[in-house]
């Protein structure tokens, strides 16, 4: 399973480099698409949980880094949840 890192631009214009243990994150997120905060968190959570499950199928245990990344994304997104105009964009995938 190829690991993927993806660069996220938050509504405050800061950037974060995020991690996925699987390229399936590319199926969940489109480059340069402005996601609402809730949608972005939901897509990331589902994709990273799926990726962790794929790791578990192959290696017998899930990916702790993927689950930690979900926590980071949820925490980073929390301040923007109540702003209906806030958008999050994936700017780059690094294989």
pTM: 0.94
In the block, which residue shows the tokens 């589902």?
46
Cβ partners under 8 Å of residue 31, min gap 6 = 90, 91, 92, 93
* Domain limits for position 61: 4-94
Q: Which pLDDT belongs to residue 50? A: 95
Looking at the 3D structure of the chain, how many domains does it have? 1
Ordered per-residue pLDDT tens for the chain, 95 residues: 689 999 999 999 999 999 999 999 999 999 999 999 999 999 999 999 999 999 999 999 999 999 999 999 999 999 999 999 999 999 999 98
Q: Which pLDDT belongs to residue 32? A: 98
In the DSSP assignment, the letter for residue 10 is -
Q: Which pLDDT belongs to residue 1? A: 64
């Amino acid at each position: 399973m190829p690991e993927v890192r993806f660069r996220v631009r938050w509504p405050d214009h800061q950037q974060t480099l995020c991690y996925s243990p699987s390229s399936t994150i590319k199926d969940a997120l489109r480059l340069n698409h402005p996601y609402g905060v809730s949608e972005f968190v939901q897509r990331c959570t589902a994709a990273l949980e799926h990726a962790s499950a794929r790791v578990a199928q192959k290696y017998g245990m899930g990916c702790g880094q993927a689950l930690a990344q979900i926590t980071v994304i949820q925490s980073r997104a929390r301040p923007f949840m109540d702003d209906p105009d806030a958008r999050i964009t994936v700017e780059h995938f690094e294989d």
